[in-house]
Amino acid sequence: MQAVSGSAVTVLGTTSRAVAAGTWYSLALEVSGSTVRGTVDGALVGQASTSLSSTGRIGLQTAYSSATFDDVVVDSGGGTPPTTPPGGTTPPPTTPPTTPPPTTPPVTTPPPAAGALVVATTGDDANPGTLARPLRTIQRAHDLVQPGGTIAVRGGTYAPSVTIKILKDGTASQPITLTAYQHERVVIDGENMPYTPGAVDSSIPRADRGALHVEGDWWRFVGLEIINGPYGIFGVDTNNGRYERLVTRDNYESGLHLQGSSSGNQIIDLDSYGNRDPRKNGESADGLAIKEGSGTGNVVRGARLWHNADDGFDAWLFLSPITIENSVAYGNGYNRWNLPHYTGDGNGFKNGGGSDPRPAVNHVTRNSMAWDNSASGFIDNGNPGTLVFERNTAWDNGRDGFNVSRSTSTLHRNLSVGNAGSNASLGSSTGTNNSWNLGGTWTLVSTDPATITGPRAADGTIPTSTFLRPSTGADVGARL
């Protein structure tokens, strides 16, 4: 129970009590002269005397939650407040329509440090960030949020004219979350930002890379769609982030790109497609890039990377091992945008590389598939390290299924069939129980990817399918 005067808030009474979702409660506020009394279901919440009650209006508000207010009655009976609080009224038998909140409520106090801030296309950055009075921009919510807090973005398209900068840190025990509100579709459209696209052969200043530019640690990004940016998400020197159920599509550089000193990041159930780079004629727009840096503990699970100008996944000049699991890369490296002098590479999973002498890095790729890429399905790209490839499948790629001829990789139970080049270009790499070790003719249960490339399962994972499984039932290749 509060009295609000401009930005000053006086708390007249407060209580904490258990409530149940879907249950109705009766609230009463009684004013007589300077005396104010508040009750919930007839139980006294608080009573105070204040001169602030002589003018103004009565309002209902929620903070960091949502509620429906119904059957609100204001009367001017006057008189002395009763000595016994009134009893509660009978709650309505069914949920009534929601009454919209006022459009111009007064500004109250800033949100608490560990609360949820709400952003909506109809919001105002002068608001406190509640569901009834949301903020307008993600950047303003970033500026207000504190470790342990959540930014919940309502559905709609947000089209800022400058990159959204994530610069503050959460902590291990209190990460910061930026998420779509209750699975509503949130689109961050970077088309109005600089360098969309940049001029041919130009460079993009680091601070302008990404519709979402991340330099903070301990952030969690959930359920957002990032399009038309100068990179979709660009992270540099960023640690312990979790990128979950994101879509990064149709950006003017890589969909999701991490570089610099970046460790402990998890990329879970990413869909990244249609990214292209007119600025470099297709040379560097990958679905997912973790490159030009170092940092342990970076993991990719459940990614789908397709129809990107350069590669599905690229680990160019990243000096620490990356683990990739349960992911697919397909249809990369084709000039779908009629870019002149096209230079896209077109590998499914590019595991390293760099200028000679190229660094030796022991990346791990498990239970993943690459098909219909213009170049190789899985490639060491000159990385001389001991990479690990376990239970992966390469099919119908434009060059080799597995090209690990410049590394000392180990390969176990991989399946490679129907590729235009060699099914396995090994060099000094070795392995056991791969399709090329076992020999014979390999036929497949299904070559229809529709299930795997269709809608994700309810939990965000790639749906299970018999796509590219050996007809013999042999325990070889990926199982998705």
The residues carrying an active-site annotation are: 350
Q: Is the peptide bond before 197 cis (omega within 30 degrees of 0)?
A: yes
> In this structure, are residues 115 and 64 in contact, taking their beta carbons and an 8 Å threshold?
yes
Strands 186-189 and 156-158 turn out to be: parallel
CA gap 444, 470 in Å, rounded: 5
Nearest Cα to Cα of residue 64 among 124, 151, 187: 151
Q: Is 352 left (phi over 0), alpha (psi -120 to 50) or beta?
A: left
> In this structure, are residues 335 and 311 in contact, taking their beta carbons and an 8 Å threshold?
no
Q: Which whole-number Å values give the CA distances from 297 to 269, 290, 351, in the listed order?
A: 17, 12, 16
| Cβ within 8 Å of residue 164, ≥6 positions away | 138, 139, 142, 188, 211, 212, 213
- 3-state helix, strand and coil shares in percent for the chain, rounded to the nearest 5: 5, 30, 65
CA gap 204, 208 in Å, rounded: 7
